[in-house]
Amino acid sequence: MSISVKNLTKIYGRQKALDNVSFSVEQGEIVGFLGPNGAGKSTTMKIATCYLPPSSGTLEVCGINVEEDPLQVRHQVGYLPEHNPLYLDMYVHEYLGFIGHVHKLRGKELREQVKRVVEMFGLTKEQNKLIGALSKGYRQRVGLAQALIHDPKVLILDEPTTGLDPNQITEIRNLIKEVSQQKTVLFSTHIMQEVQALCQRVVIIDSGKIVADQNVDRLKDASGVAGEHQTIRVLFENRVNKEDIGKIPGVIEVHPKTDGSFLLLSAGDQDIRSNIFHYAVENDWVLVELTRESHSLEEVFKELTGKGGSGG
Amino acid sequence: MVSVFRKEVAGFLNSLIAYIVISVFLTGIGLLMWVFPQTNILDYGFADMGTLFGLAPYVFMFLIPAICMRLFAEERKSGTMELLFTRPLTDMQVILGKYFAGLFLVLFSLLPTLIYYYSVSELGNPKGNLDSAGIMGSYVGLLLLGAFFTALGVLSSAVTENQIVAFILAAFLCFICYDGIQAIASLEAVGSAGYFIERLGVIYHYNALSRGLMDSRDVLYFASITIAVLLLTKLVIGSRKW
């Protein structure tokens, strides 16, 4: 297990930033850490990188407790902080050399590692420029490059794509995807598509509490969290009464929509699409549309982290 | 610690700071020692370097805070503090790396003044008639003073993210420690306690070293106040964890 969080609580003054948070990230997994701003994502990451100590509970990285051996933990972790702070008056290779030196890389090994990350992130042309002269996309690459200079086992990225344009976002995502093949990655974001594009698993946090910890596919599926039913949207060419539709086996609720279509709810995992088809054929209804509506991640996110926090 | 030291020294050398600090220090001291009518050695007619050692602390009082003000304040402002303190470095390693980088610059600005020693010794009559022991002691004193002022500069820089605040705070602290305590000691109101208060001040120990007598008490005094200030800095940097 690469990252293991148990009953983690962090209190800033009177404010509870994290409240009894537990989750874990297995080796080789790429996990999205999702939540609205101020939910506690950054706090968790700061604790995992030993920048802040937890108020109570434990956090282990590669089996090492962050409070017992912070230096060892920091050696295992590559960290890209929020807003990607950089020394703007340093040259790219100078900066990467400095970070490598801090990680106890020396001489030939250091030069090789710098060369490796420079090539990996396409910084060859930019390596002799001042970081301050780079565009935001390239700065982000430098930020990722420094996080990987010591070939860490675990990568912690705090909102790696914030403030980039759509092309750069795609580039950075691809880079993350590429490096994640051999590493454990925990990255935070508040963009849903990012999670869909990158992760197998998602942990959603709201107001310091974990509200979901699931595979992305399952979360998308309405049955996963949003209630014990499925939603089917149907549209018939001819007029059909709501009551008649209600007679289809398996349907428990019918909601007519303004555009003439109907939303049918069925219980549990039961797939009633074939029932609908057969019933329509029997009654000579012309079926022009039949779709299973899976809640989009965005909806799930809103539902889970919305005000009141009932959590579906 | 070495990595941070190297980075900071490179930072000084790549920006104008190092060159400005060293040239301002040397120009100022040079003018005072050789040109300005009130203080120059040539008119004074005695082969000693009292001018340098009397005035250097006041120049340090402004230059050292200027060197040190960016050390932590800039990191705090640009958010790179988090970058630095999530690397495999202890807080103290970061502080010492920065501290020694500042001290290195102070040392470098002081080295060229050894030429003055040679000049004054050549000008002496008879040649080389100079209180070498006194000058040795004064150099040690000045270096220890520089070390202490640098520690104050690092501390001031650690408490704020504003470099100007750091500068003013450091200059003020240097002034209080150097002149302030002495002034309090000479107040009527403190009476006989003034004798002890005077010994708390930096200037008393600095002057004692200037006489050329390397008393372990004075060296110990400077070492302990410098270490105390650095430990205080560690406390300030560690306060993010509270």
Contacts of A89 in chain B (CB under 8 A): 11, 14-15
Distance to chain A for B84, nearest Cα, Å = 9
Residue-level pLDDT at B46: 79
pLDDT in tens, A271-292: 788 888 888 888 888 888 888 7
pLDDT in tens, A158-208: 988 887 888 888 888 888 888 888 889 998 988 777 888 888 888 888 888
Domain boundaries, chain A: 3-220, 227-294
> Residue A68 above 60 pLDDT?
yes
Residue-level pLDDT at A131: 92
Contacts of B241 in chain A (CB under 8 A): 52-53
Give the span between the Cα atoms of A227 and B161, in whole angstroms. Answer: 49
ipTM of predicted assembly, 2 dp: 0.85
Share of chain A above pLDDT 90, in %: 25
Residue-level pLDDT at A226: 46
User: Does residue B150 come out as left (phi exceeding 0), alpha (psi in the -120 to 50 range) or beta?
Assistant: alpha
Helix (H, G, I), strand (E, B) or coil at A112: helix
DSSP state letter for A89: T
Cβ contact, residue pair B86, A86, below 8 Å: no
Alpha helices in A103-135 (DSSP H): 107-120
Picking from B15, B79, B88, the nearest residue to A74 by CB comes out as B88
Least confident range from A16-25, A71-80, A128-137, A298-307: namely A298-307
Choose from A102, A110, A139, A142 for mutation: most chain B CBs within 10 A.
A102
Confidence band for A221, pLDDT divided at 50, 70 and 90: low
Residue bearing the bigger pLDDT, A312 or A2: A2
pTM for this structure? 0.83
Backbone angles phi, psi at A169, to 5 degrees: -60, -45
Picking from B7, B79, B90, the nearest residue to A85 by CB comes out as B79
Contacts of B89 in chain A (CB under 8 A): 71, 102
Cβ contact, residue pair B86, A52, below 8 Å: no
Confidence band for A312, pLDDT divided at 50, 70 and 90: very low
pLDDT in tens, A55-64: 999 999 988 9
Contacts 24+ apart (CB under 8 A), A284-287: A285/A236, A285/A237, A285/A238, A285/A240, A286/A236, A286/A237, A286/A238, A287/A234, A287/A235, A287/A236, A287/A237
Picking from A46, A50, A85, the nearest residue to B78 by CB comes out as A85
Cβ contact, residue pair A83, B79, below 8 Å: yes
Residue of A nearest to B237 (CA): A51
Residue-level pLDDT at A274: 84
Residue of B nearest to A143 (CA): B83
Backbone angles phi, psi at A58, to 5 degrees: -130, 150
Confidence band for A146, pLDDT divided at 50, 70 and 90: very high
Domain boundaries, chain B: 2-241
Picking from A52, A85, A89, the nearest residue to B15 by CB comes out as A89
Picking from A51, A83, A87, the nearest residue to B86 by CB comes out as A51
Q: What is the CATH number of domain A227-294?
A: 3.30.70.100
Cβ contact, residue pair A51, B7, below 8 Å: no
For A224, A254, A305, the CA distances from A231, given in Å and listed in that order, are 13, 10, 22
Mean pLDDT of A141-166: 89
Distance to chain B for A41, nearest Cα, Å = 15
Residue-level pLDDT at A268: 67
Please, what's the b/e burial string for B145-177 (b: 16 or more CB within 10 A of its CB; e: otherwise)?
A: bbbbbbbbbbbbbbbbbebeebbebbbebbeeb
Alpha carbon of residue A167 to chain centroid? 19
Picking from B78, B82, B87, the nearest residue to A74 by CB comes out as B87
* Mean predicted lDDT score pLDDT of chain A: 84
For A245, A247, B66, B70, the CA distances from B74, given in Å and listed in that order, are 69, 71, 13, 5
Residue bearing the bigger pLDDT, A171 or A299: A171
Confidence band for A147, pLDDT divided at 50, 70 and 90: very high
Contacts of A153 in chain B (CB under 8 A): none
Distance to chain B for A204, nearest Cα, Å = 24
Residue-level pLDDT at A310: 40
Cβ contact, residue pair A81, B82, below 8 Å: yes
Give the span between the Cα atoms of A76 and A2, in whole angstroms. Answer: 10
Contacts of B90 in chain A (CB under 8 A): 71
Backbone angles phi, psi at A248, to 5 degrees: -60, 130
Chain B residues with a Cβ under 8 Å from any Cβ in chain A: 2-4, 6-7, 10-11, 14-15, 78-83, 85-90, 240-241
| Top-confidence range, A101-115, A259-273, B182-196 | A101-115
> Residue A303 above 90 pLDDT?
no
Residue-level pLDDT at A195: 82
**CATH of region A3-220, choose from 1.20.58.220, 3.40.50.300, 3.20.20.150, 3.40.50.1220:** 3.40.50.300
Distance to chain A for B160, nearest Cα, Å = 18
Residue-level pLDDT at A307: 52
- pLDDT < 50: residue spans in chain B: none
Residue-level pLDDT at A224: 45
- Spatial neighbors of A306 by CB under 8 A, at least 6 apart, are none
Give the span between the Cα atoms of B33 and B47, in whole angstroms. Answer: 12
Picking from A51, A53, A87, the nearest residue to B85 by CB comes out as A51
